[in-house]
Amino acid sequence: MHTRISATVVKAITLLTVGMCGLSMTACRTCEPASIEPLAADMAEFFNMNDECPDGYALLTDARIMQQMGLSSNPDFIENPSELSAMARYGGSKPILAVYGAEGEVCLLVNGIFFPERDGLKRFMESQAKKPNLRLAALEKPVADGTWLILCAVDPRRHYSEQEQAAIRSSIKRHSEGIGARILYSSLWADHL
């Protein structure tokens, strides 16, 4: 299958480790995503959502895409040294990414980044605010030893049907409530979650 990757999406992933909402379609329920331990069960569920999805979406398994994103499997912790270094500048660690798509095209990403210090998370978010073309929802999940930042993003150049938008919004809202995460902001589409 030919896989198309938007240059904008690849750049956002490479430079920002921005993630998208993890929604895999029912047909993908047979996929065996990687173990993303040591995440707590509720956090792992956020990256392995098999119950809600836009039609045609699935975890992508294309080796080229996974290599570009620094993944051994999908979802997985990012292993790319440049990504790890970029996160370390803000005090972030343990970046995890789930990549979803339709017809071989990257459509949604979910990226989680752990910040032991609130200041690092704040500096990272300020750097993201300077990038006007990003279309993402940012959530924070406080834990005992820090905060998980979860970024759910869509491709700004791709058209998303009303059904896709509704499924993505619904899943983000439901799963954020399920793990006790707070939605910081959303710029996915003109309206907010």
Q: One digit per residue, pLDDT tens: the chain, 193 residues?
A: 444 444 444 344 333 333 333 322 222 322 333 445 456 666 666 776 655 668 888 888 888 888 888 888 888 888 888 888 888 899 999 888 989 888 888 999 999 999 999 999 999 998 887 887 888 999 999 988 999 999 999 999 999 999 999 999 888 888 889 889 999 988 888 655 5
Q: Quick check: 108 and 147 in contact, CB under 8 A?
A: no
- The pTM of the full predicted model, rounded to 2 decimals, is 0.76
Check if the beta carbon of residue 96 is closer than 8 Å to that of residue 78.
yes
Q: Which candidate, 170, 171, 157, 186, places its Cα nearest to that of 22?
A: 171
